[in-house]
Amino acid sequence: MVRQTRRSAAAAPSFGSLPDALVVAILRHLDQAERLKNASLVCKRFQQLCCGSELAAKVVAELDGGAQALPRARALLAWLARHGSAVSDLELLLTAGEGASAEERHECAALVAGCLTACSSGVSCRLEELRVREGTPVQTTAWLPAMTALKYIDMGSTDRPLRLPCCSLKCLKQLEGADLGGAPLQLPAALPPGMTYLGLYDKGSQALPPQVRSRGAAGLYLCREAGRLLACTCSASHGSYCTLAPGALSKPG
């Protein structure tokens, strides 16, 4: 009986014998911070899987002030410098926090730009969804034109200006929707041809952007681009959501 039990135990598969696909499925149950901070240190195989393309596809980084925000942001930048090309969905919140010095705020803005640049570098950028959360300083959008696979972007702040040069959005042929905010907000003259949704949030201007013209008092506007119509919500004080499929609107008289 003891011999049979030992034989059965010896025949049982170990965790190390599980195929990579099954280990990845198990690691998905850990949040990203836990995977990178703890699971990746178990062994070389775990490190490769935790940093591999399957688990690196979605990155959520919430570093909202505090003593560890900048050190953790530096670690995030170092990680993205190695694996940013595998990220397809990025949500970023990074602030230096209240009471931060001018030097810390400057470094925070540089780290934000560095993280976004890391996700747009490489031969093929896979990033399809980008959310830069409220309060995260965006002082440059030089990284944006390289995100050619981008389908949705949510970026901007109600207390900082956001200026998008002409080349920044026009190059994004795959872009379908965007929520953009700024105080004030400056849009490029031309928008991507495939866009069907645009949310504008501008508390720093008293007039609508020149690309947008009013259609009634309900807050729904139409944006004309290259002879086609774009569903758009826009307000100088607040924004609301409205998504319409291509061709759902008729040409206004």
Chain Cα centroid distance, residue 62 = 12
CATH match for 18-56 among 1.20.1280.50, 2.20.70.10, 3.40.50.300, 1.10.150.530: 1.20.1280.50
3-class secondary-structure state, position 153 = strand
156 near 181, Cβ under 8 Å? yes
Distances (CA, A) of 29 to 47, 58, 147: 16, 13, 29
Taking the whole predicted model, whether its pTM rises above 0.95 is answered as no
Residue 149 has a pLDDT of: 92
% of the chain with per-residue pLDDT over 70: 72
Cα separation, 125 vs 85, whole angstroms: 6
3-state secondary structure 180-203: EEECCEECCCCCCCCCCEEEEEEC
Residue 108 has a pLDDT of: 96
Question: What is the per-residue burial (b if ≥16 Cβ within 10 Å, else e) of 171-180?
Answer: ebeebbbbbb
Residue 74 has a pLDDT of: 93
Closest to 65 in 3D by CA, of 11, 165, 125, 135: 135
Q: Is the pLDDT of residue 124 over 50?
A: yes
* pLDDT, tens digit, 9 for 90 and up, residues 150-186: 999 999 877 788 888 767 777 888 998 888 888 777 7
Mean pLDDT throughout 85-110? 92
Residue 240 has a pLDDT of: 38
Domain ranges of the chain: 18-56, 57-150, 171-246
Determine the Cα angle at 185 with ends 174 and 215, to 5°.
Answer: 80
* pLDDT, tens digit, 9 for 90 and up, residues 7-50: 555 556 777 788 888 888 888 888 776 777 788 888 888 888 88
